[in-house]
Structure 1
Amino acid sequence: MLGRGFALCLCLAALLLCAAADRTAAQGEKRLEDRLQRQQAALEEKISRISRLGERLEKAQSAADRSRYRLQDLHQDISRLDHSLRAQRKARLRAEKRYRAAAVAAYKGQSYESLELLIQNALKSGDWQERLEVAGRFLLVLREGREILEAYERHERILGDMRRQLSRKRQEYRRLLAVREREVGELRRRERRLEAAIRGLEASREATRERLRELRREERLAREAAATGWDVGARRAELDLVEREKVVAKPAGNLPEEEYMRLYRRAAREYGFGEDWYVLAAVGRVESDHGRRMGPSAAGALGPMQFLPSTWLRAGVDGDGDGVANIMDPADAIPAAARYLRDAGAPEDWHAALYAYNRAGWYVREVLAVAEAYRLMFGDAGAGPYA
């Protein structure tokens, strides 16, 4: 009676420990879910802020671009005015020369100085009629020339005023552009800070998700272990071989199913059962659906052919000759499975070989049934039957 009572107490204690562990796992999962929700809310708020900031940045950049284009227009206008001013000055100088020449021609003098001498002599003359005639011709030439020169001077002043106004506008636009470029620069710095914050939040969110997945995976594996007898510690030991890089497990990319079939055929021929390649293909179909489920499994198996890392240490094959036996690479894993089956008795005894691959009677029957389906699908009467 005492022994039974002690055993009952042990069972109750185990149940209480399991319940406590379940509660702890549930609480941990709830905390992770709450953290994930907070991180998601913070991420959405940051994304909303960066969206609003992006709109402001776009407007500020557009305003800066308009100022820059206006500055370019003003620069071109000032260049045109400078050209006009230079042309105007040259024209005025030519007009002055023509004015002097016209004055000389009016009095048939040889130079402007001779004209001055002629006027002085006429004014000293006692003939008032001659004086008036000379003065009239002189005033007529002087007035016409002066009007032309004054017109040129007015144009020069107008052009000069326009240039000064444009220069002031250009200075104002330069100041405005500097302000807008500083605003754009500050907005871009804020944008980079927000982008960095978003990347950090995304990384934290992904880390939380991964931890939540890991927690759920551990919970599922614990249940599978309880149901199937797998040792969770043994699984961790298997995966530890990968983490310590004793076993190479690098993603090799997704291959189409046709490429898997080609690899099955080639590996079967290489290891002596070419006509029975359907069985090797059936192993790949049952284990991973031709690379669609790469693991790790409840036992820690990995890759398209679901090798345990500890088994891979002695059975791995560098099938593609790249110097690395990668448990995740179909080009390595499929030849390794073919060699493993051959060493376990294939093709002479497929039951023994498949049972060595996975020690379960249902597994052997399922693989052979799939192999027979493949044989029939390909219409190969020279192989099998397998089931």
Structure 2
Amino acid sequence: MSPARLIAALAVTLVIVSGLGYLAAHTVMARPPLDLSSPQYVSAPVPAEAEPTAAAGQPLGATQVDPAWLSATASRTGIPVPALRAYARAQLDGVGGCDVGWTTLAGIGWVESRHGTIGGRALGDDGHSSTRILGPALDGSGKFAAIRSSADSRQWHGDPVWEHAVGPMQFIPSTWRTWATDGDGDGRVDPNDLDDAAAATARYLCAGGTDLTTGTGWAAAIFSYNHAQEYVDAVYAAATTYARRSAG
């Protein structure tokens, strides 16, 4: 199945499994009408070129993000430094194969889990929340799809019967298996690690082949991530807010 077809197939599930922070986003961050003339894309500074070094047999490590930029931008936007670093690194690494601005990933991170801090959690420097973030059981009740867990997926949520969306970007385990990415170069892939989850999100957004630096291409990519116009609006409001705040 092509990436585009795979995204379409997953979209129905994703719209039912909205992020934990999605409903709160309607009141916590204002949602103006979608205006694609406003900038939802801002670039992180490209780091100075340097040859990566690592001991034989060890991961090369991650792209370094300008610490001065991180400090200043985190202060202006209110995004935790580890989260901002993860979003910027995913953009700078180009893991998705297209141009994904850090503000786009930050918009999704806000809507899905408040950058891993939802429910009073703290986000550690390693990209992990103080307690893991799990969506509700996908047991077919209410608006939720009914998706049985598997032996492989239980390692992430511990439910022997039903699936749950996992981590700060709220990946369903079956989706994670497709897009899992080592975003911080530590040799592991973990949906609970925002570094990995942000990189996987960038890959997912790029897979549809749209140009995320254009308004219509950007909207189409976000719509593929969660097949609901209100979700696109919420992410857009967050992304444009971060773009505006980052300008100082």
| TM-score for the superposition, normalised by structure 1 | 0.31
Higher relative contact order (CA 8 A, sep 6+): 2
| TM-score for the superposition, normalised by structure 2 | 0.47
